[in-house]
Chains A and B, each alone.
Chain A
Amino acid sequence: MKVTLPTPLIEYTSGNRHVEAGGRTLSELLDDLDRQYPGIRFRMVDEQGQVRPHMRFFVNRELQRTIDVPLKAGDAVLVVAALSGG
């Protein structure tokens, strides 16, 4: 699946905003990302398993409220991080 990442996370992917990852759920996809780019999952999901504030996941342009959502081949995942604050 194609995954598009926000700029605060591309330090983990050698500057690439567009990467490939797999999984049956969004959570598994994040695990796969973490295998490829160690540490990146913790930047999106905190130690209590909660999506960090100001971080959003879209699957095929639909906002997902949980990372337990199922995925299928060909889905496009977009991760958005707010750049709010001064």
Chain B
Amino acid sequence: MLGWHTKETLMAKTSTLVLVGTRKGLFLLRADKSRGKWWVEESIPHFYGQQVNHAVMNRATGTLIVAAKPGHIGAQVYRSTDGGKSFAEAKVPPAFPKQDNPGYGWAVNHVFWISRGHATLPKTWFAGTSPHGLFRSDDDGVTWASVDGFNLDPLRLTLLGDEKENVPDGAVLHSINVDPFDAKHIMLGMSGGGVFETFDEGKSWKPLNRGVQADFLPDPEAEYGHDPHCLRMHPTVRDMVYHQNHCGIYKLDRKANRWSRIGDNMPKDIGDIGFPMTLHPKDPNKLWVFPMDGTTVWPRVSLQGKPAAYGSLDGGKTWKRLDRGLPKAHGWFTVKRQAMGADQADPLGLYFGTTGGEMWASFDEGAKWNCLMQHLPMVLSVEAFTL
């Protein structure tokens, strides 16, 4: 049975830190070594009232980077170097280059995604924005610079299309994955636009969408224009890449440079539509997704109001329903693309936050779920760290 500490004494003994970004602020959840006792450290959240799209920690340095949007005054990026006790605004936030050419004059609406750089570059971070933009910091988040090889690529403008055709919350660049085996190799996702990768640290980019269905494009073999929702490169196994797409769940055959739809192995009455995807940090064959209703008008809630994660132990060949502890009926929520994650402990801790403001955790790889918190604002992101 999980419980809550009422005093700050846990802060000194924290072994797990979960960063929960919500529609109205950032919550820092801390657990003791057993992960049976939890403590949330603020009576009001950090960045109270701001939309926190993503918060990430570099476990090697302890630096926290937070992407927030406080209403109509532009995107904000904050950093903390004291474990979340205090935050400072980036001195130079992500901003597109000033351009006089028609069509190039973009302004960052919000920072949507944060990723740390390669392990050999501990002060390097990447940020993905809406509209599609890629930015880099090499001073631990103090100043951010445009990755011009991406932001000024004419293909990027082609993908953006007309504002009227953009996804409801704006076109987002997300899922920035720096290859742990090659610092110059980066993969990312664009909604919509597709999966792209660079082998020269961002100078040039090419699409990587062969095999991915896009039922909204006329060409079944379109090179780009797809809608990846969440892309995950395995942290310890080279060339092991999965992604949850608008049109299914996929695994990449790196030699063929072609995706195969492992979501076809999901139960037919559940389907393989959803937003998040989480990989086991060590075992490349273990992964979890959280399906939602992607039929008719895309209700984007749990199928039949019965929420469940699905897990695979064999790289997506077979899937198991994981709903013990979750509502058996009338659970009409979903899980956003960066709102599901894992810590790095053994046994593994899995976490997800819902659009209904709940935080859930499992410490047996999804066999049973425990509700950590209720009545939060809509949860937008969840990142868990074993300290």
Interface of A with B (CB < 8 Å)? 8-9, 38-39, 42-44, 46-50, 52-55, 81-85
By a CB distance below 8 angstroms, the chain A residues around B89 are 39
CB distance from B187 to the nearest CB of A (A): 27
Looking at the complex, which one of B70, B73, B91, B108 makes contact with A47 (CB distance below 8 Å)?
B108
Give the 7 A-B CB pairs with smallest separation, nearest first.
A47-B95, A46-B107, A54-B72, A43-B73, A48-B105, A8-B73, A48-B107
Q: Are B74 and A42 in contact (CB under 8 A)?
A: yes
By a CB distance below 8 angstroms, the chain A residues around B105 are 48
CB distance from B91 to the nearest CB of A (A): 8
Q: Are B107 and A50 in contact (CB under 8 A)?
A: yes
- State in angstroms the CA–CA spacing of A50 and B99 once bound together: 12
Interface of B with A (CB < 8 Å)? 70-74, 89, 91, 93, 95-99, 105-108
Which A-chain residue is minimally distant from B108 (CB atoms)?
Answer: A47
Q: Are A81 and B107 in contact (CB under 8 A)?
A: no
Given contacts A39-B89, A48-B107, contact A81 B96 (CB under 8 A): no
By a CB distance below 8 angstroms, the chain B residues around A46 are 74, 95, 107-108
Q: Are A48 and B96 in contact (CB under 8 A)?
A: yes
Which B-chain residue is minimally distant from A47 (CB atoms)?
Answer: B95
- State in angstroms the CA–CA spacing of A48 and B93 once bound together: 14
Q: Are B71 and A85 in contact (CB under 8 A)?
A: yes
Q: Are A47 and B72 in contact (CB under 8 A)?
A: no
Q: Are B71 and A83 in contact (CB under 8 A)?
A: yes
By a CB distance below 8 angstroms, the chain A residues around B71 are 8, 54, 81-83, 85
Which B-chain residue is minimally distant from A42 (CB atoms)?
Answer: B74
Q: Could you list 8 examples of A-B contacts with CB < 8 Å?
A: A8-B72, A39-B89, A42-B74, A48-B99, A48-B105, A52-B72, A54-B71, A81-B71
Looking at the complex, which one of A39, A43, A48 makes contact with B106 (CB distance below 8 Å)?
A48
- State in angstroms the CA–CA spacing of A38 and B95 once bound together: 16
By a CB distance below 8 angstroms, the chain A residues around B74 are 42-43, 46, 52
By a CB distance below 8 angstroms, the chain A residues around B72 are 8, 52-55, 81-82, 84-85
Which A-chain residue is minimally distant from B90 (CB atoms)?
Answer: A39
**Apart from A9-B73, A47-B98, A48-B106, what 9 extra A-B contacts exist at CB < 8 Å?**
A39-B91, A42-B95, A43-B74, A47-B96, A48-B105, A52-B73, A52-B107, A53-B72, A82-B71
Which B-chain residue is minimally distant from A83 (CB atoms)?
Answer: B71
- State in angstroms the CA–CA spacing of A50 and B108 once bound together: 12
CB distance from B48 to the nearest CB of A (A): 11
- State in angstroms the CA–CA spacing of A84 and B73 once bound together: 12
- State in angstroms the CA–CA spacing of A52 and B73 once bound together: 7
Q: Are A55 and B96 in contact (CB under 8 A)?
A: no
- State in angstroms the CA–CA spacing of A83 and B50 once bound together: 12
By a CB distance below 8 angstroms, the chain A residues around B91 are 38-39
CB distance from A17 to the nearest CB of B (A): 15
Which A-chain residue is minimally distant from B105 (CB atoms)?
Answer: A48
Q: Are A44 and B73 in contact (CB under 8 A)?
A: yes
By a CB distance below 8 angstroms, the chain B residues around A55 are 72-73
- State in angstroms the CA–CA spacing of A55 and B73 once bound together: 8
